[in-house]
Structure 1
Amino acid sequence: MSTAISVFRIVQAVVTITGLVWVLTGAIDFFGGRNNNDSMRQEKGSNGMVNGAAVGIIGAAVCQAIITALNGISM
């Protein structure tokens, strides 16, 4: 059981990091578009920030729920 929990902790970390990187690249696009008055790039950047935050938060929460459920199983 501890192996499965460790695997889900790794998956949780990877999903969270992926979401944060997505937020970072979205912020770079947003501010780059703002500096150049490119509304399309600003929109793309803001969507990237929102989607990245959602992936990071929801993915981490789902993995944590799985870990908690696995901890609740007793043999």
Structure 2
Amino acid sequence: MEGRCSIERSGDLIITCKQGPNDYRKHYIGQATDVAWVSTQLEGVDVSVYHTRIVIKPEGIIPEIDLQGGKQ
């Protein structure tokens, strides 16, 4: 990483970088035995400093399952 960034290690790397006067973006880097991954916040979000919001998207947690029935 390059720039004005803060790095936190809590299992994975969590990197927060300053992109502008009031624009901070997060990057997550993780590694398992057989895979490495990177997640980057592409755009800043206008949020309240006194309000926390968590969005959970079920399609990211529950895999798509295709069930087919028939005679046995």
**Do Structure 1 and Structure 2 share a fold, with TM-score over 0.5?**
no
Query: How does the TM-score come out when normalised to structure 1?
Result: 0.21
Structure (1 or 2) with the greater strand fraction: 2
Larger Rg: 2
Q: Which structure is richer in relative contact order (CA contacts within 8 A, separation 6 or more)?
A: 1
Structure (1 or 2) with the greater helix fraction: 1
